[in-house]
Amino acid sequence: MNKMNSKSSKSMTNSVPDNLSSNLSKRENGITSTVNTYYSSITIGDILNIIAQKKADAVIKWINSLDYNVETPMVVGTYLTGVFIALKLRENHSIKNIEVLDIYNHLGDLIKSFEDNFKYLSEEKIVNDKSYKNPHYKKILFSNDLSHLKKADVVFDTTGLGGLDIKHIKKLNKCKIFITEDPCSDGSDNLIKDKNLTSARLKSASAQYKARIFTSGLMSKTSGTMTLTMDVLRKSVEEILKTNGVLYAVASLDFYEGILFKEKNTEKFLESVNRPAMIVSSINPVQIDKTLFKIIEKIKVEILD
């Protein structure tokens, strides 16, 4: 593998298949026969998956471009970029162990669920990826002990705002590659930017290769996968409302992170995001999925080194 010559690499992965984006949404009769109710086939969870995979695909592409064989990678932060990076790392057979570190013990259940029910955007539709049950793939280890970082040759920091402390990064003596997720995006305000420790984290790392994940395209306040998902919904609703014959459009909103981090109920979280992303009341047929994907495709992920 050859080292990258450019200063950044861009990933526009998971583009929308034409046959999927042209599908009509599920329809039910409205209050009268004049109006119908349409449901997206895309769920909140599907949007979360696609965005997280965009990030993970960009990271793995950059890692593979480096002249280095990864052996003991560690991912700091599970939700949600972290778990997808870990899943993608399983394809690398030179890796001895894959470990995810997180202060929230219950997120180990989230990793197990994604291992068993991994989804990806195929050439035809969103499907369960049965290949991820390959017995040759390594099981992802989980721990809340940050001292394990000392053993890592590659560290993926996805903790964002208020996350991984600089003191832990300075102790990464065996780390050859350090990549951190920038919590800011193209719509971040000054207060959010002031809380951004990305530059300090990179400066503190002594790794040979260092980079940051920068996600933009929707003018979002942060690069968080849930933030981006909420903006996909908001912008899609605005787009749908411009359509002639549409009475109203409703996004499936809930405090999903409250379920996961306050209630600490992983099963309930996964059930709650498994609902149609949008419902539309309209006189004419509405292609909700196509609109959702149109907005998702605007999201771009860059690895800046």
> Which residue would you say has higher pLDDT here, 111 or 3?
111
pLDDT of residue 217: 98
In tens, the pLDDT along 38-75 reads: 999 999 999 999 999 999 999 999 999 999 999 999 99
Nearest to 210 by CA among 174, 177, 183: 177
Q: Which helix (H) or strand (E) holds 99?
A: strand 98-101
> Which residue would you say has higher pLDDT here, 114 or 24?
114
In tens, the pLDDT along 150-183 reads: 999 999 999 999 999 999 999 999 999 999 999 9
Helix (H, G, I), strand (E, B) or coil at 253: coil
pLDDT of residue 65: 96
Nearest to 301 by CA among 61, 108, 136: 61
Q: Determine the Cα–Cα distance for residues 41 and 259; give it in Å rounded to an integer.
A: 23
pLDDT for residue 147 is more than 60: yes
pLDDT of residue 187: 96
In tens, the pLDDT along 251-290 reads: 999 999 999 999 999 999 999 999 999 999 999 999 999 9
In tens, the pLDDT along 87-137 reads: 999 888 888 889 999 999 999 999 988 887 665 543 334 444 444 455 556
State the distance between the two ends of the chain, measured CA to CA, in whole angstroms. Answer: 17
pLDDT of residue 116: 74
In tens, the pLDDT along 208-241 reads: 999 999 999 999 999 999 999 999 999 999 999 9
